[in-house]
Amino acid sequence: MEELTLKSKIIVCKKNELAKEEQQLVDTAIRQTDSSYAPHSHFCVGAALLLENGTIVEGCNQENAVFPAGICAERSAIFSAGAQYPNEPVVAIAVAARSPEGKLTEDPVSPCGVCRQVLVETETRFQHPVKILLYGQKHIFVIEGVSKLLPLTFKEF
């Protein structure tokens, strides 16, 4: 018998320690929280994608009374990029959220399992890692690629 230990490296930093382009991406995700439609959870999430050509694509969570009809901020941005720029690799994503009280979260919010799976396929599709920037007031988590967030990823054989 053998034991496998899976490790994920996460860089913890402040916004001003990020490259200018990444700070801008985080600011866009923060701004997108204001466009969120979250009448049910009141948890407003914003996402911003950086494409290889420098374009920023924005998204935010969209809820619905028919619960599964809604979508997370991350997938809203990724699917929007897929529709508008189908051939442009996604190189980074920033995510930020406001609590129901309207304050930006102290701790970084990390993507749900479904969004991680969609990010995995985005990486596979473009053969390019997607850098993940998760904003919190206390600190930002930087993760070099979604495989670090979703080990033992499902792949079709």
Place of tokens 């490259």: 19
Asked if 108 touches ligand THU (CB under 6 A), the answer is no
* Number of other residues whose CB lies within 10 A of the CB of residue 100: 10
Structure tokens at 21: 């382009």
Q: What stretches of the chain show up as alpha helix (H) in DSSP?
A: 20-32, 73-84, 113-126
Q: Rule CB under 6 A: choose which of 70, 82, 136, 145 binds ligand THU.
A: 70
Closest to ligand THU by CB, 47 or 91: 47
Q: Rule CB under 6 A: choose which of 28, 33, 61, 105 binds ligand THU.
A: 61
Please confirm, yes or no, whether 74 is among the known catalytic residues.
yes
The C-alpha atoms of residue 52 and residue 32 are separated, in whole angstroms, by: 21
Asked if 90 touches ligand THU (CB under 6 A), the answer is no
The C-alpha atoms of residue 127 and residue 156 are separated, in whole angstroms, by: 16
The C-alpha atoms of residue 1 and residue 106 are separated, in whole angstroms, by: 42
Q: Rule CB under 6 A: choose which of 18, 25, 26, 45 binds ligand THU.
A: 45
Characterize 23-38 residue by residue with b for buried, 16 or more Cβ atoms within 10 angstroms of its Cβ, and e for exposed: bebbbbbbebbeebeb
Asked if 130 touches ligand THU (CB under 6 A), the answer is no
Asked if 115 touches ligand THU (CB under 6 A), the answer is yes
Structure tokens at 114: 């479904």
Asked if 38 touches ligand THU (CB under 6 A), the answer is yes
Task: Answer yes or no: are the C-beta atoms of 41 and 65 closer than 8 Å.
Answer: no
Q: Rule CB under 6 A: choose which of 89, 108, 111, 129 binds ligand THU.
A: 111
Q: Rule CB under 6 A: choose which of 84, 112, 114, 125 binds ligand THU.
A: 112
**Active site members:** 74
Interface positions with ligand THU (CB under 6 A):
38, 41, 43, 45, 61, 63, 70, 72-74, 109, 111-112, 115
